[in-house]
Structure 1
Amino acid sequence: MNRKHFISSLIPVAVAATSLKASANTAIAAKKIGIPPYLEPGDAIGITCPAGYIKTEAVQPAVQLMQSWGFNIKIGQTVGKRDFTMGGTDAERLADLQQMLDDPTIKAIMCARGGYGAVHIIDQLNFSRFMANPKWVIGFSDITVLHNHIHTNCHVATLHSKMCNSFPDNWSLAEPIQVETILSIKQALTGQRMSYTSPSSTSNRQGAAVAPLVGGNLSIAATLTGTRSDISTDGKILFLEDTGEYLYNIDRMLYNLQRSGKLDKLAGLILGGFKVKPDEPDDEFGKTLYEVVLDRVKSYKFPVCFDFPVGHQKNNFALKCGITHSLKVTQTGGTLTEA
């Protein structure tokens, strides 16, 4: 066959394939997020350790408080187990979380703590029963692996919030901010419409957006880029937080998000708590966190909100990932309201 004619004959096929791929991607992106049933008195919440370990007695304050809210608590097999830094072996953590995902009587799963380890088991989990009977998966930090994987592969909303290791030992002596943030978990799980504010900042970029909310820990989000647990941020409000990182590493991870296209079509950006490691003497990075972020977003127009109450800090409120929110950033600060 004439080479020119041969190449020409392939063009319609290539165009058709591209169109099919584009249609498939559009269909996936447009798929609505399912909201698990909100909890009612008598419903069961499971507690498991898909990442770091926790002692059995350390979950008791959370157990007692959630029982006082009217929920039944099922403590998983991995609570109290330890395999070095993790809550049991990979096989044990996988089996425990899988059982809770499959159990129709469990209406929410609270991860006992973050730490590290969820990435070890994420690709072995079977979400078919979970998708047939969705339930709330609760946690933050390393649990960002679960939030992002479920968002992309299951299209189900999850709850980014404090976990068992953040519940005070004595509720009557808890600081007001501890009480408020932990009660936000109950409010979110029982279907209340959530709304939060953040203080005014000269670094904020004013604007408004109405879009699905996604995000979590910056380190985790960056390491998930290109994997099955990666998320699309197109047309979404992205929130980020982190702890114990040097400024140069935060800068590197934000470059990762920019170079992978995650800022190109963003609807809005929220920055929560960032506990930054002090630079080593004579090795200073030379910029503040605000300068690092603003440098990466200067070529975009979406609103940017700093100092939002989410992250590795006391004012870490519950956020419903995947659900549409309204973000407004003005001179007086930021407001994020469930739509």
Structure 2
Amino acid sequence: MNRKHFLSFLITAGATTTVSKATSVVSDFSEKTSRIPPYLKKGDTIGITSPASFIDLENVQPAVQLIQSWGFNTKIGATIGKRDFILGGNDAERTEDLQLMLDDPNIKAIMCARGGYGIVRIIDQLDFTKFKRNPKWIIGFSDITLLHNHIYTNFGIASIHSKMCNSFPKVWPEALPIQIETILSIKQVINGEPVRYTAPYNSNNRNGRVEGTLVGGNLSLIETAAGTCSDIVTDGKILFLEDTEEQLYSLDRMLWNLKRSGKFDKLKGLIIGGFRLKPDPEGEEFSKTLQEIILEKIKEYDYPVCFDFPVGHQINNFALKCGAPHTLNIDQNGSSLTSI
């Protein structure tokens, strides 16, 4: 074989190997079944860390006190109170703190103190070897979406999409009923209690009843993970989406990304949670509403869809088990999502 043909062979073989490997990995991810971490019992310890944006000790105390009143112990991570500009400590500090909690067999769940930004900077430095052998609940939402989806995509392990420490009311007796209900939903889930959430009827809904594994979270973070090892496979899944402080054109762009990458093609069902919109500048308004943007992307599919589900950057943000089986039912009375 001459040099020219040899180099051509190497390039072709290398490209073939890469494509084959990627295809194999995606196939493996899509076939994973859910692994449910052990539910907690009284006396178990919940670690509190800040792997994304910063938070001080004072602002995690309401969560610490309430969690302890539930009968659990707490362990405050070294990142609580640390700050590196917007982050909860520098990358090395946040990685080390989360790693210690992932590896510690005495910690049975990890609650992220807040979201914001930062997980993408450390996700590839984390070692999940011990976590895979002894799974534990990871709790949080917003930026923590990347961590949820990375864990389920790579290891098939369920986690909890829910409010975090910065959302716990400072004075519990003065909290609104919906605040109390959503915070208590975290306790229900980590205790292994059955949960069922409902949403009112919306004229944009599509009726139907399906069973499937629940995946999803913050739309911006799902788009951020596209094409990486933290991407999610949505085939045969119930997908839920939420976001905040985005303009309509930006949401349209991100949803086109999901459509073009096939994430809407083979869904069992679609749940649209809270979308707190950033107003368009005067004179630069987008031509469609949020509902129109979403329905445009899924017009050729017939799976059930519900709007206004109580999840997202809003007060009615209930705890959901990502990577776990659920039943979604949508009819003329509204929507319900029930853990199986």
Normalised by the shorter chain, which TM-score bucket? over 0.9
SS at match of 2:173: helix
Residue 32 of structure 1 and its aligned partner are, at CA, apart by 1.5
Is the contact made by 2:29 and 2:154 (CA closer than 8 Å) also made in structure 1?
A: no
Is the contact made by 2:26 and 2:233 (CA closer than 8 Å) also made in structure 1?
A: no
The sequence identity of aligned pairs, in percent, is 64
- For residues 14-64 of structure 1, the C-alpha deviation after alignment (integer angstroms, 9 at most, x for no partner) is xxx999987775454222211000000000000000000001110000000
Structure 2 partner of 1:323: 324
1:213/1:179 Cα in 2 relative to 1: closer, same or farther (>3 Å)? same
Is the contact made by 2:115 and 2:142 (CA closer than 8 Å) also made in structure 1?
A: yes
Distance 1:274 1:222 in 2: 16
2:173 is the counterpart of 1:186: no
SS at match of 1:192: coil
Is the contact made by 1:181 and 1:316 (CA closer than 8 Å) also made in structure 2?
A: yes
Is the contact made by 1:127 and 1:154 (CA closer than 8 Å) also made in structure 2?
A: no
Superposition pairs of residues 135-154 of structure 1, within 5 angstroms:
135-154=136-155
Name the TM-score, length of structure 2 as normaliser: 0.93
SS at match of 1:275: strand
| Letter matched to residue 287 of structure 1 | K
1:78/1:20 Cα in 2 relative to 1: closer, same or farther (>3 Å)? closer
Structure 1 partner of 2:9: none
Is the contact made by 2:63 and 2:168 (CA closer than 8 Å) also made in structure 1?
A: yes
- For residues 215-266 of structure 1, the C-alpha deviation after alignment (integer angstroms, 9 at most, x for no partner) is 0000000111001100100000000000000001001000000000101111
Distance 1:95 1:322 in 2: 26
- For residues 189-212 of structure 1, the C-alpha deviation after alignment (integer angstroms, 9 at most, x for no partner) is 000111100010001111121000
Superposition pairs of residues 39-50 of structure 1, within 5 angstroms:
39-50=40-51
Q: Extract structure 1 runs of 4+ deviating beyond 3 A.
A: 17-28
Superposition pairs of residues 202-217 of structure 1, within 5 angstroms:
202-217=203-218
Distance 1:28 1:203 in 2: 32
- For residues 169-192 of structure 1, the C-alpha deviation after alignment (integer angstroms, 9 at most, x for no partner) is 000100000000000000000001
2:322 is the counterpart of 1:311: no
RMSD: 1.9
Structure 2 partner of 1:271: 272
Distance 2:164 2:199 in 1: 22
Distance 1:86 1:40 in 2: 32
Q: Give the number of equivalent residue pairs.
A: 327
Structure 2 partner of 1:10: none
Structure 1 partner of 2:58: 57
Distance 1:22 1:84 in 2: 40
Is the contact made by 1:185 and 1:318 (CA closer than 8 Å) also made in structure 2?
A: yes
Superposition pairs of residues 1-339 of structure 1, within 5 angstroms:
26-339=27-340
Is the contact made by 2:29 and 2:233 (CA closer than 8 Å) also made in structure 1?
A: no
Distance 2:96 2:22 in 1: 35
